[in-house]
Chain A
Amino acid sequence: MDLIGQLERENGKKTLPPVHIGDTVEVHYLIKEGDKERVQLFIGTVIAMKNRGIRRNVVVRRIVQGEGVERTFPMHSPRVKDIVVTRRGETRRAKLYFLRDRVGKQTRLKELLGEKARKERELNKAMRAADGSATEGS
């Protein structure tokens, strides 16, 4: 019996937003400013993911003032309030580290269009409408 896996499923969030490599996402991240907390948005491209049970995380890359910034978000962390996919990307590989060597127009990815992506988007939209926020797991 895989006890640890079972415990991780119980202790983690029940549902996670569907995020894929190459997607452009908005990460709603709770930050502390003095003694106040607020949600900060981090918008960028998903260049890598790790899927290790409760240690599942996404690496999001964006360019800030000409400088590449990468942040790793543990998806099960209570500080990650939501991850909203704004644009699906079409990729052929699982790790997009080659984007690190590129600047400007070269960092663009082809958008994933078509029936499958559209269906997923609608399903996701329906799910969000159903329970308010998709990531509000335990």
Chain B
Amino acid sequence: MESHWVEPESLSTHEKVQEIMTLILGRKRGMTQLFDADGTVHGVTVVEVGPCVVTQVRTQEKDGYDAIQLGWGDIADKRLAKPQLGQYKKAGLAPKRFMREERLSAAATCKVGDTVTCDIFKEGDLVDVVGTMKGRGFAGTIKRHNFHRGPETHGCMNVRQPGSLASKRIGKVIKGKRLGGHYGDTRETSKNLRVVRVDAARNLLYIKGSVAGANNGFIQVRTAKTGVRQKAKA
């Protein structure tokens, strides 16, 4: 399997971090528990990632930056917009539903049509997982900002109300005041989660902790940005 992985030994620490940044696309399958040999229980999210196909390689000369573009998830031709369809036709690939780019610090070593599978990660790696949080519609301050509620009895009428918005002296509501409003359905990144197990045969990653979004929701898994850097320093 050809991937954009570059052996980091010859690079300096900073470059190393940039170079081993890896991305893969997939979907969340659900949560379960895993037992260690010593009986410790881990809550893990099972995600199905890859195989992704490299749909485009961005180069310094042509695009002004180095990156690779990955595609994942089969889709019927008629469901895809014509420009994207043309891109796939030109590359001679089956059309994919999701496309994401990953920036590289040096020219990519892979070419269009290469596949990326979940074994770019190994057990113990730290990853960031990007997902779309479940939408909650118009939510009040208790759900949205973790406000406390008021007393329910003794004649109180302010059970779930936000309380005072400002003082009379200020005379206006300060911008950024936390109030009710639309909550959820936003891009959320869970950082520095540990890969507990890699199941290459079924394209599954077991990631410790929770991941934003509903089951079967689209997610991106990439090498942790901050966690790896800390590790490299030590």
Contacts and interface: CB of A to CB of B under 8 A. Distances in A.
Interface of A: 3-4, 7-8, 11, 30, 53-55, 74, 76-79
B32 A53 contact: yes
B30 interface: yes
B39 interface: yes
Query: What is the size category of the interface that chain B forms with chain A?
Result: 10 to 19
Contacts of A4: 29-32, 46
Interface in B32-66: 32-39, 41, 46, 48
B35 A76 contact: yes
A78 B39 CA distance: 5
Interface in B149-207: 204
Contacts of A74: 35, 41
A3 B215 CA distance: 11
Contacts of B37: 78
Is chain A's binding surface mostly helix, strand, loop or mixed? helix
A11 B34 CA distance: 7
A104 B39 CA distance: 35
A30 B37 CA distance: 12
B34 to A, nearest CB: 6
Q: Determine which residue in A3, A8, A54, A74 has the highest number of CB atoms from chain B within 10 A of its CB, and name it.
A: A3
Interface string B81-109: 00000000000000000000000000000
A4 B33 CA distance: 10
Contacts of A79: 38-39
Given A54-B33, A55-B33, A7 B46 contact: yes
Contacts of A30: 39
A55 B127 CA distance: 26
Q: Determine which residue in A4, A7, A11, A53 has the highest number of CB atoms from chain B within 10 A of its CB, and name it.
A: A7
Contact of A3 (B29, B33, B36): B29
